[in-house]
Amino acid sequence: MWIMITYLWAINCLTLLAFGFDKLRARRRKRRVSEKRLLLLAALGGSLAALLGSWIFSHKTRKRGFSAILLMIVVFQGAAVFLLITQGVPQIS
């Protein structure tokens, strides 16, 4: 259980830092973090930090395609967590 909590904490911190770094690079017109990488971090468990980063940094909010994919990731992960909580984790025998 602690391994999962530590992993989620780390991936969310990394995702939030990536969004902040990308916003900083965008302002300075330098090489940026790709949208694919930002979405990958969200899909790997950092979706809440991705939403928070979009809101805090006002970043990627006008990109409808990016926002739609991010929202789909959040909904999918939310549904998965809901199922795990209500149904329990399947036991391998």
DSSP state of 60: S
pLDDT of residue 79: 93
Residue with tokens 């928070």: 52
Distance CA 38, CA 51 (A): 11
pLDDT of residue 89: 73
Report pTM: 0.82
Residue with tokens 């950092």: 46
pLDDT in tens, the chain (93 residues): 789 889 999 999 999 999 999 999 988 999 888 999 999 999 999 999 999 999 998 877 778 888 899 999 999 999 998 998 888 777 776
pLDDT of residue 93: 65
Nearest of 80, 55, 81 to residue 67 by alpha carbon: 55
